[in-house]
Amino acid sequence: MKLLALPAFTDNYIWMISDGSQAIVVDPGDAAPVLQALQDFQLSLAAILVTHRHPDHTAGLPALRPVLQGPVYGPKHESIEGIDIHVGDGDRFETLGLTFEAWDTPGHTEGHVSYLALPAEGMPWPQTLVFCGDTLFSAGCGRLLGGTAEQLLHSLDRLAELPADTWLCPTHEYTVSNLRFASAAEPGNQDVAEALSQSLALRARGEFTLPTTVARERQINPFLRCRQPTVAAQALKQGAPDASALSVFTTLRQWKNHYPA
């Protein structure tokens, strides 16, 4: 079993799992990279997973329908044309020999879901593999475009409670810009400084910074660290009304909205 990241448009990845003859793709905002990969690796398309309603995650669905040999899974709390099977929190399904569980992870949008590929023997990932869409990015999180700060904080907390070696597969390569913000949100965090240096080197070589892991995000992601006094102190300087996790998180998210890329 292989995990591939297919670059689509600017900073956007379409994730593909392949067993050598069939494939699953996640959030196909563009059909062209998927069709090319299917041709290059001589794969059939067994299923599509969609995390939320935004076009950069769904626009490729119509063009992929003619080659699709299975269903399109998508969130039950959002209206998305082309979804065959609507899933919500705790729903499980099997495809390509893997068991997936849907988690409701609202905040970026009101009905966003994440997909967990549960542990199985012979997989390249050591624990659970999570397709988290735009809920969590490496060192960051999605904007609030339909959900609430309270929802997004809860969703991130839930992902952060997964085992440390869980692989996380966001849809966007925002790591470098997120780490620059993380450096401001927690100036003394040496893990952030090291991660930024590593990520800059990877991108300079044309390599991906993803997937990431729960362990890494616990160290470098300020949106998972809003209960840390060092992060709260910076949020208070930015106008947070108090040092509660929700106030710190909300302030960080607003600050990041206007932070230079």
**pLDDT recorded at residue 220:** 98
27-to-77, 141, 172, 228 alpha-carbon distances in Å:
16, 17, 11, 33
pLDDT in tens, the chain (261 residues): 999 999 998 789 999 999 999 999 999 999 999 999 999 999 999 999 999 999 999 999 999 999 999 999 999 999 999 999 999 999 999 999 999 999 999 999 999 999 999 988 888 888 899 999 999 999 999 999 999 999 999 999 999 999 999 999 999 999 999 999 999 999 999 999 999 999 999 999 999 999 999 999 999 999 999 999 999 999 999 999 999 999 999 999 999 999 987
**pLDDT recorded at residue 19:** 95
**pLDDT recorded at residue 122:** 82
pTM: 0.96
- Separation CA 219–CA 167 (nearest Å): 15
- Rg of the chain in Å (alpha carbons): 18
Closest CA to 60 of 41, 39, 40, 81: 81
**pLDDT recorded at residue 48:** 98
